C-alpha cells in the first residue's frame, strides 16, 4: 500500500528497484571468472556459477550467431508502455519472417523448454531437468538453433537476458550444449 502511494506522484526509486539492480549486478558478475572472484572476495557464496559448468559453442554456430543488443530491465508495472513498445518493435521487425523462432522455458516438475515458429507453424518442445533457470532458457534457445541449422539464417527471440548473454559469450550450459550439437 505504501509503495503504491509513492508511485502515484511519480516516485519510483523504491527498495524493489534497488534490490532488482543488486540482483542484476550479482547475476552479471556470476557469469564470468573475474566477476566470481570479485564476489568471493566480497564475501558472497556463489552457488552454481555458470563459468564452471559451461562449454564452448561449436564454431559453426558461433560464426553464424549475432546477438542483438539486449534491452535493459524494465519494471512490468512502471515501464508497461516501454515494454509494450519493445514487443511491438520486435514483432514488426521479426514477426513476419519464416526464420524467426520464439523461445521460452517453463518451470515444471519435468522441466519444459519450447521453441516456436508461428510462420512455419512448427513447435518443438523438450523436457529436461535443469538446476538453474538460466540453463532452461539456454536449452530453449538450443532447440531453436538445432531446428534451424539447415536454414541460411535465423532470428531467435528470447526473454531471459542471462541466457542471451551466455549465447553471446560463446559459452552455454551442458544441457543446452548437448541439445545444440546433438
Domain spans of the chain, in order of start: 1-47, 55-181
Q: pTM value?
A: 0.65
What fold does the segment set 55-181 form as a domain? Answer: Nucleotidyltransferase; domain 5 (3.30.420)
Residues 87-123 have pLDDT tens digits of 888 889 888 888 888 888 876 665 555 667 776 788 8
The 8-class DSSP code of residue 32 comes to S
Measured distance CA(182)–CA(168) in Å, rounded: 20
What's the mean pLDDT in 163-175? Answer: 85
Residue 170: all three cell numbers together: 560463446
Give dist(CA 84, CA 101) in Å, integer: 19
Residue 156: strand, helix, or coil: strand
Cα separation, 106 vs 84, whole angstroms: 22
Percent of the chain with pLDDT strictly greater than 90 = 1
- Of 25-29, 36-40, 84-88, 117-121, the one with minimum mean pLDDT is 117-121
Task: Mention every residue, 6+ apart, whose C-beta is less than 8 A from residue 139.
Answer: 105, 113, 126, 128, 130, 173, 175, 176, 179
What 3-state DSSP class applies to 132?
Answer: coil
Cα separation, 23 vs 90, whole angstroms: 26
Q: What are phi and psi of 123, to 5 degrees?
A: -130, 135
- Comparing 115 with 34, the larger pLDDT belongs to 34
Amino acid at each position: 500500500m505504501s509503495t503504491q502511494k509513492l508511485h502515484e506522484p511519480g516516485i519510483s526509486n523504491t527498495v524493489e528497484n534497488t534490490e532488482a539492480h543488486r540482483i542484476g549486478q550479482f547475476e552479471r558478475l556470476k557469469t564470468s571468472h573475474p566477476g566470481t572472484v570479485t564476489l568471493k572476495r566480497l564475501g558472497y557464496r556463489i552457488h552454481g556459477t555458470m563459468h564452471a559448468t559451461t562449454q564452448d559453442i561449436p564454431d559453426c554456430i558461433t560464426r553464424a550467431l549475432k546477438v542483438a543488443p539486449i534491452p535493459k530491465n524494465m519494471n512490468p508495472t512502471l515501464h508497461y508502455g516501454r515494454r509494450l513498445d519493445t514487443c511491438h518493435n520486435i514483432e514488426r521487425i521479426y514477426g513476419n519472417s519464416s526464420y524467426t523462432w520464439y523461445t521460452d522455458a517453463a518451470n515444471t516438475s519435468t522441466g519444459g523448454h519450447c521453441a516456436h515458429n508461428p510462420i512455419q507453424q512448427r513447435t518443438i518442445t523438450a523436457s529436461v531437468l535443469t538446476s538453474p533457470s538460466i540453463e532452461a532458457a539456454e536449452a530453449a534457445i538450443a532447440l531453436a538453433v538445432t531446428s534451424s541449422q539447415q536454414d541460411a539464417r535465423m532470428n531467435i527471440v528470447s526473454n531471459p537476458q542471462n541466457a542471451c548473454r551466455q549465447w553471446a559469450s560463446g559459452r552455454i550450459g551442458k544441457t543446452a550444449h548437448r541439445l545444440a550439437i546433438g
